[in-house]
Structure 1
Amino acid sequence: MSLTNIYHLRRVADTSSKACLICFKPSTSVLITPDNKDFFYVCPAHLQDRHFCSAIVDTDGEAAREKEKKMAEEIEKVKKEYEEKQKRKKEKKSDKDEKDKEKEKDEKKGDSKDSNSNDEKERDDKIDSIKKGDSESKTDNSPRVFALHKTFYQMRIDRLRGIEMAKRNQERMKNPSLFPSVPKKDL
């Protein structure tokens, strides 16, 4: 049985948490091999322990994340510039509209302008809050690929071998030709 010493970190729901391999506390972090042959639950604190495992740095992945981060910053910058241009256009338009509305206001003396500006402010506040919520989204920059320390890796191999041997023994026990037959002659 060949088992690679590469484990990927996965998260599960809080309701699916199970005991950590080391400290037996409930954990939602799972280390799993790429071929799904072996997995176990482990606390995030143990992932920081250099005597338990070490992170495998993915340089291509890091470069891709950096590129993605720069793109997101550029997009945000372009959005801000666009919003500023739109505000300037609104201000110019509102200045012209204000002059026209002042004339109408003198004639009508209505409060329609105030209600429109309040609606616009509320809409802008909602948009800003949505944007802030998106920017504050949780980003986890912790490593996702690990290699176990040699003793823990050997422990996982021994466990898998034991399971495989137990399965083989169960199959042998089910085979009737394994047992000796009853003697046919009288002694």
Structure 2
Amino acid sequence: MSLQNTWHHRKVADTAAKACFICYKPSNSVLITPDNKDFFYICPAHLKDRNFCSAVVDTAGAQAKGKEEALAREIEKVKREYEEKQQRKKEKRKEKKDGEEKKDADKDKEKDKDAKSDEKERDDKIESLKKQEKRQGNTPTDDSDSPRVFSLHKNFYQMRIDRLRNIEVAKRNRQRLQDPSLFPSVPSRGL
């Protein structure tokens, strides 16, 4: 039986909290192997204990965060450009109002339409950036900065392997006990 020493940190609902593997306090944090062969509940404080496990550096996750930050900067840039554009339009309107009398109601409606179309254009840019990010598959799953992948230290890893091995042995023993050919038959002749 081979069990990878790679464990992913997951959260479960508070109602599904179970006893921690170390201290037996209720916990909603779970460490699970990538192939779902083994899992156990653990307190988040134990994940920070350097004698229990160590975080595995996730280069793909770091790259995704970098792309996410770049996307956020780009969205902010689009918002700033929109605000600057609106300021310029307001200044032009004030200059025109100072120089001229009020214009027809139709022209005011056109200005409102222009403002609405600019706002819609900004929203469309932001939505297209978000859709592009989703297509690339770089959406964050968790907002916390805590590591998501861990490697247990050798003693705890060996405990997990022994536990799985004992479960497998107990299962084989139960199957053997149910097999009638395991026990010797009663002698048919009498003495």
Unmatched 5+ residue regions in structure 2?
103-141
**Alignment match, 2:183:** 179
- Displacement after TM superposition at 1:158 (Å): 0.6
Query: What letter corresponds to residue 171 of structure 1 in structure 2?
Result: Q
Partner of 1:82: 82
With the length of structure 1 as denominator, give the TM-score of the two structures.
0.74
Supply the RMSD in Å over aligned alpha carbons.
Answer: 2.6
Q: Shift of residue 70 of structure 1?
A: 1.9
Q: Secondary structure at 1:142's aligned position in 2?
A: coil
Counterpart in 2 of 1:134?
A: none
Partner residue in 2 for 1:124 = none
Residue 173 to residue 100, structure 1, CA distance change in 2 (3 Å): farther
Aligned to 2:64: 64
Contiguous gaps of at least 5 residues in structure 1: 102-137
Deviation larger for 44-53 or 10-19: 10-19
Match of 1:163 in 2: 167
- Write the mapping of 1:4-153 to structure 2, written as runs, cut at 5 A: 4-93=4-93, 96=96, 139-153=143-157
1:95 to partner: Cα distance: 5.9
The separation in 2 between residues aligned to 1:158 and 1:167, in whole angstroms, is 14
Q: Give the stretch that moved more between structures: 28-37 or 85-94.
A: 85-94
* TM-score normalised according to structure 2 size: 0.73
Once residues 10 and 151 of structure 1 are traced to their aligned partners in structure 2, the CA distance between those partners, rounded to angstroms, is: 22
State which drifts further: 51-60 or 70-79: 70-79
Distance 2:178 2:16 in 1: 35
Post-superposition Cα deviations, 1:4-52, rounded to whole Å, max 9, x if no partner, equal 0000001111111111111111111100000000000111111010100
Deviation at 1:76, TM superposition (A): 1.1
- CA change 1:100–1:139 in 2 (3 A) is farther
Q: Deviations over 1:139-182 (max 9, x none)?
A: 21111000001000000011111111111111111111111101
Task: Provide the C-alpha distance between the structure 2 equivalents of 1:88 and 1:146, rounded to a whole number of angstroms.
Answer: 53
User: 1:167 is matched by which residue type in structure 2?
Assistant: K
Amino acid at match of 1:46: H
Match in the other structure for 1:127:
none
3-state SS of 1:67 partner:
helix
> Structure 1 segments of 4 or more deviating over 6 A?
none
The C-alpha deviation readout for 1:107-131, integer Å capped at 9, x for no partner, is xxxxxxxxxxxxxxxxxxxxxxxxx
- The 1:18–1:97 alpha-carbon spacing in structure 2 relative to 1, beyond 3 Å, is farther
**Structure 2 CA distance for partners of 1:95 and 1:5, relative to 1, 3 Å:** same
SS of aligned partner of 2:188: coil
